[in-house]
Amino acid sequence: MKLIPIDKLRYDRELSIWDVLDVIGSIIRDRSVRVCIEVDESYVIKRGLEIYWALRRIGASKAPVGFGECYATLDDIGFYDNITGDTHRVYSSSLDFALRGLPTPLVKLRSYSDGKVNVWAKLEWYNPFSLSIKDRPAVNIVSSIASSRREGIIGDVSSANFGIALTAVALQFNIKTRVYLPRRAEEFGLVVPSLMGADVIHTDAELTVDIISRVKSEAVELGFIHVDQFTNDLNFEAHLKTLAKEIDYQALKANLKLVGIAGSIGTSGHMSALNFYFKNRYGDEFKVILAQPARGEHIPGIRRSETGMIWLAMIARGYEIFDVTLGEAIDAVKRVASKDGLLIGPSGGATLVALEKYISKSSIEGDIVAIIPDTGYKYLRLLKEKL
């Protein structure tokens, strides 16, 4: 067996993430690759195309090449290479920073840890463009489009953060953006993409998903690509190959005893990917706790599961969902601010509320990661109203 840089291999057919999800699951479970990829003298893949695409989609940098069975560890295939960035933190461009500035920090919260359960906040506002988790899908989606074209227009619906991330990444390839926002979008979601040169369309829709059919028909009429973060598998894939792996790596390095993960749902991209990754990594007993707005409540960036989320329905399993009011989420924001001095956004607050609701009815012990999608500095109007 030889380990070859994955970019050297050639293929005649692309496989989707759905085609190779089982293979990805077995790599995460076994923490190794057990079958070699067979290639000819020009590195064209003859057998093991599904291993190749599994490695590609999970962000490995090397592939085991040879005949029949083989054994390559995660270190051998450079599994963690794409999320262990540059220690000097010098980057050749803002996009390079977004790609190699990972992992985002994992910080133990005094406000929610009691020694029995330790809550570790994954601070996603350390992504440079949207100061949110949405840089991850934007980078993956736009890079894929930019690999075949370097101009034109792309567009999508956003609750606020994705429109910023999409625009910031697209402009690096001279691609223009159209961003559609719902009625209650926070001001930063309108102002920031405009400053970056996007066409921003502020609609009177209640929910992001209510705007999708309009974007679909305008994409045909006006001739732009609708990237559709709600169904684009590159959204789910982005979190599988960066966010999930980072948490796995950070837990490993810090000797954490990870027993669960908590987060909130909009497209469900990140929590479905984390659910898939960690159920494979640790088995079905690993807890996945989700926060959704209580009926009739609006919490920026997230919505209720029954409004339809493709990956949550098709891939996630064995999770528990808790309803959270905006008032409860903001109380959690205040608790973290007053005990840790960190200002988290309301969806991060909702996550901590859901987690506390789960902890209060269970006997769980160990380390739990809470995904904090963005910073509270974007929501001062909302936070002030509720003070």
Write out the residues near ligand PLP by the rule CB under 6 A: 132-134, 159, 161-162, 264-270, 300-302, 345, 347, 373-374
Give the nearest residue (CB) to ligand PLP. Answer: 301
- What tokens appear for 79 in the block? 């599994």
Closest to 352 (Cα-Cα) out of 334, 337, 370? 370
The DSSP H or E segment spanning 314 is: helix 310-314
Do 167 and 193 meet the contact criterion of CB atoms below 8 Å apart?
yes
- Say if CB 168 and CB 130 are below 8 A apart: yes
Amino acid (1-letter code) at residue 159: S
Shortest separation between residue 136's beta carbon and ligand PLP, angstroms: 9
Pick 103 or 345: Cβ nearer ligand PLP: 345
Q: Judged by CB, which is closer to ligand PLP: 267, or 280?
A: 267
Burial level of 5, CB count in 10 A (0-12/13-18/19+)? exposed
Cβ closer to ligand PLP: 118 or 132? Answer: 132
Taking the least distance from each CB to ligand PLP, the nearer of 80 and 162 is 162
* Closer residue to ligand PLP in complex, CB, 48/300: 300
Amino acid, res. 46: K
Task: Tell me the C-alpha distance between 339 and 344, whole Å.
Answer: 12
Give whichever of 49 and 164 is closer to ligand PLP, judged by the CB atom.
164
CB 253, min distance to ligand PLP, A? 25
326-to-61, 125, 226, 385 alpha-carbon distances in Å: 42, 20, 31, 11
CB 86 → ligand PLP: shortest distance, Å?
26
The minimum distance between CB 268 and ligand PLP, in angstroms, equals: 5
Mutual angle of helices 161-170 and 135-146, in 10-degree steps: 30
Q: How far is the CB of 154 from ligand PLP (least distance, A)?
A: 17
Least distance CB 12 / ligand PLP (angstroms): 33
Strand pairing category for 152-157 and 258-264: unpaired
DSSP state of 318: S
